[in-house]
Amino acid sequence: MKLFDNFYNMKVGIVDLTQLSSEVIPLDEQIVAEKIGGAAVNEDLFKQYEDDTPLIIGVGPLTGSFAPASCLAVATFLSPRFGGLCHVPLMLRAGPEMKFSGIDFLVIKGAASSPRILHIDKGAIRILSAEHLIGVDIPEALQTLKKEMTHPRSILLTGPAADNGAPGASVSTGFNGSLDKAGLAFLMASKNLKGVIFNGTDGLPFAEGNLKHNETIERNLSADEGHKNDGFPSMLDKIGIEENLKGIIRKAKWRNMACYHCPSPCMSSVKFKWLDPRKNSRIEDNLFLSDHLGFLALAKKRGKDVFPLSESCHRFGLDPVAVAEKLPESGSLLESLNAIEEMSVTPGKSEPHHIGEVPREMHKLFGDAIPPILPDELWKERVWLSMILGVCPIFLIRFPQISEFDLYKFLTKNEDDLNILKERIRFILEN
């Protein structure tokens, strides 16, 4: 079965941070035929390079395609938080820009002796110095990178929290945070890896008929009564949010934002007014929100202060769930802001933290940040499917009516191939 000619560059980037060397090698057709892509191919590559404590970043065949919500890249690594293998989803434009930069999978081995950032463009990998970004907060570091690089399309970056070895450190996609609650930023810091920049081009030529097939899926979705296009707050409702917090949400001004090719945004940018105690002045701020569980954890702890506190987590590169666990129930906003700053400079061990339930194994496997809004078995099946194909897991758990065959049909129309795909993905799921 050779389905992927249009869907991959068929290239793997190998970076050795210890030697400061890199190469681009062909993607093994046999691995792709068996494992299809995303988390499953990442796992295979992880085993091949296991002795070098690798970090693998990979896309699926549908990443960057006409399929709905085809935004996904997956980071696979040994989680310092959970101690086991973890697949963390990276959304927004991370997946498409990675694929359009000319490679499908990236294996990052070893550790550098000084801070480095990777730059990938037209299938070539550069290992650049990142010394000047250490200790710099995320918005400022992004400004610096945008001045230094021509058109950096997608930037995965760690902040001061990771630089200082803070246990709640979390990677940021641009200045938008991420779903890294598994210690990806902590692992990157241990490799002296500050970030990865993908400079995508204009995309790949995808198979004929894919545009029409996507239009049919989107039309069916819009006709569905349960389909609401309400951004971040609607997802909070699905997870379950207390009445008193709903009032706080209603007062802010929301603008829905979507990842690459997503027809139903669950992210939002929010405009909020607050009294900055450090300047003693009332200001209006904008914040991009993508981490539903992180937002809820902070909101439960500190009510209306959730907005400035979330901004502070983004600035220092901290996971809001880890922060919420450490913040006191009472006290002033200034005390909480100072506590977050303190957390970002305090080294420690990355260890389990959880608000409420202890994460179950399947949640740990996918980084403990994808909302549990479906029964366990169905959740696991949908998340695995998304993580292999390169489609957003949040989108697939929100819309279980989109069948696996709806997605496979972007890859092939041939009945035999569709069944082979189904069998192979079942096999991965069950093993």
| Helical axes 231-239 vs 292-302, angle rounded to 10° | 70
Residue 73 touching ligand SF4 (CB under 6 A): no
What residues are paired with 87 via a beta bridge? 76
| Helical axes 333-345 vs 306-316, angle rounded to 10° | 20
Q: Tell which one of 67, 193, 259, 270 touches ligand SF4 (CB under 6 A).
A: 259
- Is residue 399 within 8 A of residue 227, CB to CB? The reply is yes
Residue 425 touching ligand SF4 (CB under 6 A): no
Of 176 and 312, which has the nearer Cβ to ligand SF4? 176
- Is residue 261 within 8 A of residue 100, CB to CB? The reply is no
Residue in the structure block whose two tokens are 């929301």: 254
Question: Which range in 149-157, 187-195, 255-263, 331-339 contacts ligand SF4 by CB under 6 A?
Answer: 255-263
Residue 266 touching ligand SF4 (CB under 6 A): yes
Residue 309 touching ligand SF4 (CB under 6 A): no
String of contacts with ligand SF4 for each residue 30-69, x by CB under 6 A: ---------------------------------------x
Any idea what DSSP says for residue 303? G
**How many Cα atoms sit within 13 Å of 316 on the Cβ side?**
27
Residue 402 touching ligand SF4 (CB under 6 A): no
Q: Give the nearest distance from C-beta 268 to ligand SF4 in angstroms.
A: 9
Determine the size of the site formed for ligand SF4 (CB under 6 A): 12
**How many Cα atoms sit within 13 Å of 19 on the Cβ side?**
9
- Is residue 156 within 8 A of residue 94, CB to CB? The reply is yes
Any idea what DSSP says for residue 28? P
Distance in angstroms (rounded) separating the CA atoms of residues 176 and 194: 16
Of 14 and 259, which has the nearer Cβ to ligand SF4? 259
Q: Give the nearest distance from C-beta 372 to ligand SF4 in angstroms.
A: 15
Q: Is 3 helix (H, G, I), strand (E, B) or coil?
A: coil
Residues 82-141 that bind ligand SF4 (CB under 6 A): 91
Question: Which range in 49-57, 318-326, 340-348, 389-397 contacts ligand SF4 by CB under 6 A?
Answer: 389-397
Residue 195's nearest CA partner among 141, 156, 168 is 156
Residue 299 touching ligand SF4 (CB under 6 A): no
Q: Give the nearest distance from C-beta 213 to ligand SF4 in angstroms.
A: 18
Which parts of this chain interact with ligand SF4 (CB under 6 A)? 69, 71, 91, 258-259, 262, 265-267, 392, 394-395
